[in-house]
């Protein structure tokens, strides 16, 4: 059964990564003790890179391979590009 969401967040343009910077934003202050997460998430990388999803071991992506998840997958509460200098864009539904 599809999930009914509250909204979307994502890149406003092609972004260049900073090593090990978290892409999932912090929860709003009124979300007391609730971690922000995406039930649908898509990431597009222009160069080969390594990512970590929800504290996973490093995962290699070929240039333009990308990564996607939907409501059937685990909630994305953490998404990190390991290397700096990777151009990417992302979008997530919460």
Q: Which is nearest to 94 in space by CA: 29, 30, 25, 6?
A: 6
Our count of domains for the chain comes to 1
Contacts of 19 (CB under 8 A, 6+ apart): 81, 82, 83, 84
Domain that holds residue 65: 10-23+35-93
Q: Which is nearest to 90 in space by CA: 49, 56, 57?
A: 49
Task: Spell out the per-residue pLDDT of the chain, length 94, in tens.
Answer: 555 788 999 999 999 999 999 999 988 888 787 788 999 999 999 999 999 999 999 999 999 999 999 999 999 999 999 999 999 999 999 9
Is residue 2 assigned to a domain?
no
Is residue 68 assigned to a domain?
yes
Is residue 29 assigned to a domain?
no
Is residue 47 assigned to a domain?
yes
Is residue 81 assigned to a domain?
yes
We report the CATH number of the domain holding residue 65 as: 2.60.120.10
Q: What is the pTM of this model?
A: 0.89
DSSP string over 28-68: PTTSTT----BSEEEEEESS-EEEEETTPSPEEE-TTT-EE
Is residue 64 assigned to a domain?
yes
């Amino acid at each position: 059964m599809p999930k009914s969401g509250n909204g979307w967040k994502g890149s406003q343009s092609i972004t260049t990564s900073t090593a090990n910077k978290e892409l999932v934003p912090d929860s709003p202050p009124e979300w007391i003790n609730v971690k922000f997460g995406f039930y649908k998430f898509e990431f597009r990388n222009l160069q080969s890179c390594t990512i970590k999803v929800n504290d996973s071991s490093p995962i290699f992506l070929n240039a333009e391979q990308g990564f996607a998840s939907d409501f059937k997958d685990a909630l994305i509460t953490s998404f990190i590009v390991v290397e700096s200098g990777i151009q990417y864009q992302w979008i997530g539904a919460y």
